[in-house]
Amino acid sequence: MIDFIRDYVKIIHNAQAACLEVTFKGFVSYDELVEAVEYEIKLIQHYKLKKCLINLRDMRVYPEGGEEYIKAVWFPGVIKSGIRATAFIVPDDLFGKMSMQEAHSYTLESEVMNYDHFNDQDTAMKWLESVTMAMSSSI
């Protein structure tokens, strides 16, 4: 499958890190969010990925209905598709950060997916590597 690159999002398969990398920029409409999420899930399934890095640093707020969509579709979809660890890079924008927190209030106190929030990509990637190693050793 090919990477998905638009003005508002870049969705790539990082083969070296064996993860999905998603970077959002600016304002995203509801339809654009849905399009991106659907492609993310297809890439996860195609490559049988177990981890993803979601960079929301330059994203403004989720569009109207976006927070609910993330809770109702994205979280269950990526978990069902096999994701076991997700690192989120938090938005710089205060309103974007609040929007993300609301969308991520999904109940993730499960043994299915580990997740955490970070301020930079290097720290997030190191965390993903450590979580992946821990998951591998417990199997």
- The pTM for the full model equals 0.86
Q: Say what percent of the chain tops pLDDT 90.
A: 63
Local structure of 113: helix, strand or coil: coil
pLDDT one-digit tens code per residue, 85-131: 999 998 787 776 776 676 666 655 555 788 889 999 999 999 999 98
Which segments of the chain does DSSP mark as H helices, in order?
Answer: 30-47, 66-69, 75-81, 94-103, 121-137
| Residue 87, strand partner residues | 53, 116
Pick the CATH number of 4-132 from 3.30.750.24, 3.50.50.60, 3.10.20.30, 3.40.50.300: 3.30.750.24
Q: How do the domains of the chain map onto residue ranges?
A: 4-132
Record the tokens describing residue 100, joined without a space. 């993300």
Q: Residue 51 corresponds to which tokens in the numbers above?
A: 């981890």
